[in-house]
Structure 1
Amino acid sequence: MNERNNIYNNNTKRTKNGLLGMAIVGAISSDPRNYTSQYLDIFKNSGVPPKRKLTKFMISQNAVVQPGTPLFAAHFRVGDYVDIGSHTIGFGFQGVMKRWGFKGGPRSHGSTKFHRKRGSIGSGRDRRPIKGMKMAGRMGCKWRQLMGLKIWRINNKYNILYIQGPVIPGPTHSYVRINDSCLPKNREQITQESHPPFPTYYPDEQEKLPEEIFDKGLHQFNDSTIKFENFEVKKITKREGAKIAKIKN
């Protein structure tokens, strides 16, 4: 749900293509009693309940939508390329063997309490650890963004996007951020027919979208997988016995 747009007053950014603003997008409605009055003031003029998650997207002046406009999966098109970012899985404080894949110390030959340690961290001459040395610490929970992932399938009933490969960062049921791909090679492939609706998709009562939309290179599960064709089979008669050559006297 698009909650509020700051119309180029405070959160603005000037680029070579013009002036860009910020669109605040929220997800998952929640109970107002769980938030402070300062947080509830954000949704006072939008006409929607407070959202559990808020994020910002850079938009141009002609892409501004009205506050409270819902965003659907039909905002994208099958075959488009998107960039997805999220926080990776957090594992807490871990040692060097799990965090960096170190081998560890020897298991025998008199080693004591050295089985999962990293070894020396000194640099010899400077008498201090080198910057960036791999050591124990907090593992995961970092922002990662994957670019150029293709959309293979869209479910308009439940607003689900099927993206290329199981490589989406973050744990299961986590929040992800989806943008149009910024790679030049992916932008060139977008034509006027495959361009997503601008600034977003507005549902129309007369035009009903299909429940499932598949890419041309993806098999549709409604189609048959095996096709049988009729063809003639030629029967070959078996030889009853070997022919005996006649010997002339």
Structure 2
Amino acid sequence: MTTVESSAARPGRIARAATIYGFLTLAALVTLFPLIWTALGSFKPGVEVLLPTLFPRNPTLSNYTSLLGGEDFYRYFVNSVAIAVFSVAGNVLLCSMVGYALAKLAFPGKRLVLGAVLITIMVPGVVMFVPLFITVNGLGLTNSYGGMIVPFLVGAGGVFLFRQFLLDIPDELLEAARIDGAGEFRIFFRVVLPLCGPALATIGLLTFMSTWNNLLWPLVVAQSKELYTLPVALAFLSQGDGTINYGVMFAGSVLTIAPIVLVFLFLQRYFISGIATTGIK
């Protein structure tokens, strides 16, 4: 009887599974379609970019050669890499240190600091834009790499993520290190950080993505062309004679997206583990 019921239910399970996977495949295609259109459009010459066709009729690399032909593009790329690397390093180090203090240390005002972190997460970034620019301008950091890096060396979201992750580390492990005579800095660098791989990868990837794609802040702070990042430069390079060169814009978008995709593919296992461990939705 059980075998008969199982055989009768099997087609239903297969149908449900096929429906679910079909829906997920369709959702993935809809999500990826703009990226596919951009990638294929970067190989279309001239006005063919504006035609409602997915695949290029006469594939060409002219958009890439036009974009890479100037020395300025490499300067913009180096600027983006430098700003992203320093921002990631700062967030990984400083967010982990503050998160460790909030999770494992006792000090006066700890609840107030945690409350300030949570409030900062709730405040939209655009609200802080003008006060942040006034502060940076007052410190004389406009039109400099420091002005684009220093304000984002530590983020409230990263602090909260590290705190949540470090709460799961047993206090007994830290007490054992203290009994052996280790100080807090030694405990942090020798005991805590090696256990924070998923959290470090998650913060590193999120910081890299937000910094690499940032357009508005570098556009305002970088007042000279030599300090432009890729998103800012792409907004100007895609225009010529008052018209938008969509082919060059698509090629630049592909070259801008590629590093993010590569970094994510390299860190995706740790990223997913970090998100699942901290319970961030």
Pair member with larger Rg:
1
Pair in the same fold by TM > 0.5: no
Structure with greater proportional strand content: 1
Q: Quick one: higher RCO (CA 8 Å, sep 6+), 1 or 2?
A: 2
TM, length-normalised to structure 2 = 0.22
TM, length-normalised to structure 1 = 0.24
Structure with greater proportional helix content: 2
